[in-house]
Chains A and B, each alone.
Chain A
Amino acid sequence: AQSVTQLGSHVSVSEGALVLLRCNYSSSVPPYLFWYVQYPNQGLQLLLKYTSAATLVKGINGFEAEFKKSETSFHLTKPSAHMSDAAEYFCAVSLGSNFGNEKLTFGTGTRLTIIP
């Protein structure tokens, strides 16, 4: 079985500062890992994904994440926060070997607040 832990249910950063959202995973097989963003009253939008290729993954809106197997982590970063980044962020894991047939397991989310 797989699971995801997101450290910090709320994160606040100043506009222009580094954004770091933490995600640790547990999986019995090599995982696929995802970051999704959810704006108020909207569904989930994919930011980026790791599917066993390059360990540093670049996504939309300037976000990137690095897969570290030794630390079982997949933290999300952005060098300079923008007011429009304020949203809820979810890390998710899926069994990599048979994706498309497997469910996503989500973390509990991190609400990102940007301070002007």
Chain B
Amino acid sequence: DAGVTQSPTHLIKTRGQQVTLRCSPKSGHDTVSWYQQALGQGPQFIFQYYEEEERQRGNFPDRFSGHQFPNYSSELNVNALLLGDSALYLCASIQSGANVLTFGAGSRLTVL
């Protein structure tokens, strides 16, 4: 059983560009969350999607947006990239009402 899969694993962008990261949740999971983990820090909650809608959001600017598709997969979009957006972006999935998140291996974004 595949767990949470994320793509791409690594990517490099320049300031001002836009990026899209993708996530396929674990089979049977219907809720997807995104976290940003800066170097040397713990993950920070960006937002969560359920039934194709953003259910809650952390303290991130509107440059960060997302989408969930009918098959529960999700995308994270970041516009107008800043150097400070360089981080590991983690996707996590869960079946609504359960109590354990399953994390993917992450997408490492470098902004030059």
Contacts and interface: CB of A to CB of B under 8 A. Distances in A.
A100 B56 contact: no
Interface residues of B, number: 31
B1 to A, nearest CB: 15
Interface string B79-105: 000000000001010111111111111
Interface of A: 32, 36, 41-46, 49, 51, 90, 92, 99-109
A104 B96 contact: no
Given A104-B35, A104-B45, A104-B92, 5 more contacts: A41-B108, A44-B92, A101-B56, A103-B45, A106-B44
Contact of B90 (A43, A101, A102): A43
Interface of B: 4, 31, 33, 35, 40-45, 48, 50, 55-56, 58, 90, 92, 94-106, 108
B32 to A, nearest CB: 12
A100 B97 contact: yes
